[in-house]
Amino acid sequence: MYYDLHIHSALSPCSDDDMTVNNIVNMAYIKELDMIAITDHNSLKQLAYLPLIAKGKIRFVYGVEIQSREEVHVLAYFLPNTILEPIQKFLDDYLIEEPNDEYYFGHQYIFNEKDEVIDQERRLLIKSLDLSLKDIISSIHQMKGIAVIAHALDQRFSIMNNMMTIDENLDFDGIEVSYLFQKDELIAQFPFLKDKMWFFNSDAHRLEMISEPIHSMNEEEFFDLWRKRYG
């Protein structure tokens, strides 16, 4: 199953304004991916029309990229039958408040299924939640999600850059790296990571950045992450 589970829509200020759900789904479909997740910063508000738009074209899980107080990014995934409102409320409650300066950071547009702007987020989404990484991971699990440490070795917003180590007691389900060789590098340093599920996503902020059908995963192994945790 070819996948790209880390794609930013135009709701993320740092993304292109043509990253509508329609365009993302169609680009992933043209590229012959089997499954996607749209993972905006600290918000699920772009996902209301995703089931309608993706229907008959591509599979999806719901996703969000959450920033912890330590400025570490963690991806949370939820099954398509999940009710999103309580999760959105959790994000709204903990996001550190700052108005978005759209001239500086970019627009935070929300689109409908016809690519019309129906709303925009006024709070700046590229802030931290006022919670530790550990607490965010346990909150994700309380909401029946799966927690994946994002771009673990990147220079910014990564666990290795900001926390200098990966604590074996952190109860995350998977780990994402930006380059294949980083997997071996991290397992050599932290052998317990070989038992985690590994992800290679695009972190696309522009349409052409969405992954080619290169990285495939075992579908069973992915959904087993939920079965193992929630039965």
136 alpha-carbon distance from chain centroid: 14
Q: Which residues bind Zn ion (CB under 5 A)?
A: 65, 73, 150, 157, 203
Identify which of residues 179 and 229 has a Cβ nearer to Zn ion in the complex.
179
Tell me how crowded residue 157 is: count the other CB atoms within 10 A of its CB. Answer: 20
Whether 125 contacts 11, CB under 8 Å: yes
108 alpha-carbon distance from chain centroid: 16
What string of DSSP letters covers 201-217? ---BSSGGGSPPTT-B-
Tell me how crowded residue 65 is: count the other CB atoms within 10 A of its CB. Answer: 26
Q: How far is the CB of 93 from Zn ion (least distance, A)?
A: 21
Q: How far is the CB of 231 from Zn ion (least distance, A)?
A: 30
Q: How far is the CB of 157 from Zn ion (least distance, A)?
A: 5
Amino acid at position 76, single letter: A
Identify which of residues 107 and 229 has a Cβ nearer to Zn ion in the complex.
107
Q: How far is the CB of 7 from Zn ion (least distance, A)?
A: 8
Alpha-carbon distances, residue 44 vs 47, 92, 121, 217, 224 (angstroms)? 6, 10, 11, 24, 23
Q: Determine the residue with CB nearest Zn ion.
A: 73
Residues 6+ apart with CB under 8 A from 226: 79, 144, 146
Identify which of residues 23 and 202 has a Cβ nearer to Zn ion in the complex.
202
Identify which of residues 109 and 157 has a Cβ nearer to Zn ion in the complex.
157
Q: How far is the CB of 55 from Zn ion (least distance, A)?
A: 25
Q: How far is the CB of 114 from Zn ion (least distance, A)?
A: 26
Residue whose token pair is 């627009």 = 107
Dihedral sign from CA coordinates of 118, 14, 89, 51: positive
Identify which of residues 13 and 195 has a Cβ nearer to Zn ion in the complex.
13
DSSP secondary structure letter of residue 71: S
Identify which of residues 138 and 178 has a Cβ nearer to Zn ion in the complex.
178
